Amino acid sequence: MKSVPTKKRTIIGAALFAAAMAMPSSHPAFAEAAPEKGSVAFKYLHYQDSQPSQDRIGVDAYTVTAMAPIAGKWSISTTYVNDSVSGASPDYHTHILSGASSHDTREEVDLGLTRYFSKGSLTLGTVYSTENDYISRGYSGQGSLQTEDKNTTFTLGGSYTTDTINPTAQGLQYDKRTIAGLFGVTKVLSKVDILQLNFGISRGRGYFSDPYKSYDSRPDRRESKTIMTRWNHHFDGTDGTTRLSYRYYYDTFGIKASTLGLEYVQPLPNDFTVIPSVRVHSQTAADFYRTVYPPVPRTITPNSLDQRLSAFGALTLGIKVEKRIAKDWLVDVKYENYEQRAGWCVTGGGDNNLAPFTATFLQLGVSRLF
What is the mean pLDDT, run by run of 10 residues, along the chain of 370 residues? 41 35 38 86 96 86 98 96 84 53 86 96 98 95 96 97 88 94 97 98 96 87 98 97 98 98 98 98 95 65 89 97 96 98 92 90 97
The whole-number pLDDT of residue 312 equals 96
Burial of 183 (0-12, 13-18, 19+ CB in 10 A): middle
Class of domain 5-369: mainly beta
The whole-number pLDDT of residue 101 equals 52
Instruction: Please list the alpha-helical segments (H only) found in the chain.
Output: 5-14
Q: Is the pTM of this model over 0.85?
A: yes
In three-state secondary structure terms, 342 is helix
Closest CA to 83 of 1, 184, 15: 15
In three-state secondary structure terms, 292 is coil
Q: Give the Cα separation of 128 and 157 in Å (integer).
A: 19
In three-state secondary structure terms, 252 is coil
Torsion of CA 321, 326, 330, 331, to 10 degrees: -60
The whole-number pLDDT of residue 238 equals 96
The per-residue b/e assignment along 337-354, b for 16 or more CB within 10 angstroms, e otherwise, is ebebbbebbeeeebbeeb
Burial of 63 (0-12, 13-18, 19+ CB in 10 A): buried
